[in-house]
């Protein structure tokens, strides 16, 4: 790892270390900001002592990051338009990373201080959107192209619908439990259990389910939210030291050959569908500016791009053998080909089978660009795991007592946690970033309604206000910071 940073100018090295520290600080704050939600019910219901709950939550968050992959990480990265991702520039990369991280950290700390269970995912996405929009304004790019709006809509839909689904599913689970065991002790609150049964802890089986589901929430939180930190670090590394990180230098000969084969098969795919795609891709035509420009990917340059990529990769069995400039070019070609393939997949006229083949080719194309070194994954896992172990008290009280007009019952805690773990697990499968905070607190609210406990209007309004304000506040803050940083750098 150390040799990757050798030969850097002192200011670049210092900037890099600061940027990495900012990302890890964000993940550390994410740990105590969001993970309080993962352990709130298990602590409030006395299923586990706070110190044990927080420790094991930290461990399971750590494991979740290590085993979670990088699908969600690059879903976050690709919120930025491909034109911004192919523009590799150290000063530009620094401005982008510091702006979005400063905005995200500021909002996270503010909402944590006031004990409001706001979403780190929502915060980060707003910060990334702000940078993309500000970049478009600065470089006279249409706002429609300033952000990957399709990806933003997909992620936005997951963030909007996941809490709604959490509310409904948790309510239905609780209704099912009340129908199945209406007289069970699991429908008591901790206070009722202590007063009526003179017992401090939940019944054994309820306690076991509460503990297991809390650790499951911690694990899926790590595998989903931890990947966001991984994606941020890769943005940092690619933006500041591109020569070392634009491509996975650890790629095997087979992986490089798979990338080359995917490029060949992509070309064959386009030729087979010449009648449908010929006009859109200008197949067989001479195109001015025969390679992707520095800031633009043009579908009509697809054939020249394929030829240039195949020429650059000819005889290459190790990415180390490419010069720094050639590595940057290869990544630019791959990202542009992937971006065009994504657009082609949305065109009418292609059979579903061909679209499926195109999706598989896209995965092979980007296999050596969408990666994360193990030390990056380990660093994020440690930051998130350690952050989990501090600062949890403020949010636990909000989740346990201030959402409903009555305290939470054991059955409500189980319903909310099982729902949260299941929904985030499915989101991980489909590489969708969702908010643990939104899903869990909505699930708790759903169980309060299903239990006819009522909701505390003041708390609910505060949480909803934080959810509503998070996106515009972080967009505005990160956009302003990016504009200031870009002006300072003279870009």
Provide DSSP, 115-163.
Answer: T----HHHHHHHHHHHHHHHHHHHTT--GGGTS-HHHHHHHHHHHHHHH
282 φ/ψ sector (left φ>0, alpha ψ -120 to 50, else beta)? left
pLDDT category of residue 9 using cuts at 50, 70 and 90:
confident
CA–CA distance, 388 with 390 (Å, rounded to integer): 6
List, in order, residues 6 or more apart from 394 with CB less than 8 Å away.
Answer: 36, 112, 113, 114, 115
Which two three-digit tokens encode residue 253? 């000969």
Q: What is the pLDDT of residue 34?
A: 65
Of 209 and 197, the one with more pLDDT:
209
CB atoms within 10 A of CB 225: 32
Closest CA to 321 of 249, 388, 375: 249
Do 384 and 30 touch, CB atoms closer than 8 A?
A: yes
CA–CA distance, 222 with 228 (Å, rounded to integer): 10
Q: Has residue 343 got a pLDDT over 70?
A: yes
Token pair 């429609």 is at which residue? Answer: 144
Closest CA to 344 of 362, 332, 369: 362
CA–CA distance, 235 with 243 (Å, rounded to integer): 13
Q: Has residue 84 got a pLDDT over 80?
A: no
Lowest mean pLDDT among 86-95, 449-458, 477-486: 86-95
CB atoms within 10 A of CB 250: 13
pLDDT cut 90: percent of the chain above it: 27
Q: What is the pLDDT of residue 100?
A: 85
CB atoms within 10 A of CB 447: 30
What are the pLDDT digits (tens) for 176-207?
999 998 888 898 888 888 888 888 889 999 99
CA–CA distance, 110 with 104 (Å, rounded to integer): 10
Closest CA to 397 of 22, 112, 143: 112
Token pair 């915060």 is at which residue? Answer: 123
pLDDT category of residue 292 using cuts at 50, 70 and 90:
low
CA–CA distance, 236 with 397 (Å, rounded to integer): 36
What are the pLDDT digits (tens) for 409-467?
899 989 999 999 999 998 888 878 887 777 888 888 888 888 887 666 665 676 677 66
Q: What is the pLDDT of residue 131?
A: 87
What are the pLDDT digits (tens) for 224-273?
888 888 988 888 888 778 888 889 999 999 999 999 999 999 999 999 98
Closest CA to 190 of 477, 359, 413, 449: 413
For 93, half-sphere exposure in the C-beta direction (CA atoms, 13 angstrom radius) is 25
């Amino acid at each position: 790892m150390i040799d990757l940073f050798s030969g850097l100018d002192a200011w670049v090295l210092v900037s890099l270390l600061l940027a990495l520290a900012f990302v890890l600080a964000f993940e550390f704050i994410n740990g105590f900001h969001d993970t309080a939600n993962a352990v709130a019910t298990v602590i409030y219901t006395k299923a586990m002592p706070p110190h044990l709950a927080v420790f094991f939550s930290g461990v399971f968050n750590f494991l979740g990051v290590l085993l979670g992959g990088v699908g969600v990480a690059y879903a976050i990265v690709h919120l930025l338009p491909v034109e911004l991702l192919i523009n590799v520039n150290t000063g530009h990369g620094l401005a982008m990373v510091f702006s979005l991280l400063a905005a995200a950290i500021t909002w996270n700390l503010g909402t944590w201080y006031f004990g409001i269970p706001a979403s780190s995912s929502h915060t980060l996405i707003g910060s990334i959107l702000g940078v993309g929009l500000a970049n478009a304004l600065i470089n006279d790019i249409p706002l429609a192209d300033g952000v990957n709006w399709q990806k933003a809509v997909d992620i936005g839909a997951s963030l909007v619908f996941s809490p709604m689904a959490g509310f409904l599913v948790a309510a239905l689970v609780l209704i099912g439990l009340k129908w199945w065991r209406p007289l069970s002790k699991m429908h008591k609150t901790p206070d009722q259990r202590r007063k009526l049964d003179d017992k401090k802890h939940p019944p054994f089986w309820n306690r076991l389910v509460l503990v297991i589901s809390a650790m499951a929430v911690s694990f899926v939180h790590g595998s989903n939210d931890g990947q966001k930190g991984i994606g941020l670090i890769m943005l940092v590394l690619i933006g500041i030291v591109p020569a070392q990180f634009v491509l996975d230098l650890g790629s095997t000969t087979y992986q490089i050959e798979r990338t080359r084969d995917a490029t060949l098969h992509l070309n064959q795919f386009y030729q087979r569908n010449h009648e449908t795609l010929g006009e859109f891709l200008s197949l067989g035509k001479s195109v001015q500016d025969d390679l992707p420009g520095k800031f633009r990917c043009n579908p009509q340059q697809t054939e020249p791009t394929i030829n240039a990529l195949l020429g650059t990769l000819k005889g290459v069995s190790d990415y180390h053998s490419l010069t720094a400039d050639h590595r940057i070019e290869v990544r630019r070609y791959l990202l542009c080909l992937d971006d065009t393939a994504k657009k082609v997949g949305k065109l009418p006229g292609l059979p579903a089978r061909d679209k499926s083949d195109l999706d598989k080719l896209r995965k092979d194309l980007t296999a050596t660009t969408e990666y994360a070194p193990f030390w990056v994954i380990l660093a994020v896992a440690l930051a998130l795991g350690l952050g989990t172990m501090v600062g949890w008290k403020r949010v636990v009280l909000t989740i346990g007592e201030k959402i409903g007009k009555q305290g939470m019952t054991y059955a409500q805690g189980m319903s909310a946690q099982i729902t949260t773990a299941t929904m985030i697990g499915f989101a991980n499968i489909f590489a969708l970033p969702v908010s643990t905070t939104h899903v869990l607190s909505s699930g708790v609210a759903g169980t309060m309604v299903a239990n006819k406990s009522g909701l505390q209007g003041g708390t609910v309004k505060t949480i909803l206000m934080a959810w509503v304000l998070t996106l515009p506040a972080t967009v505005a803050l990160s956009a302003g910071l990016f504009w200031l940083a870009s002006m300072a750098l003279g870009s």
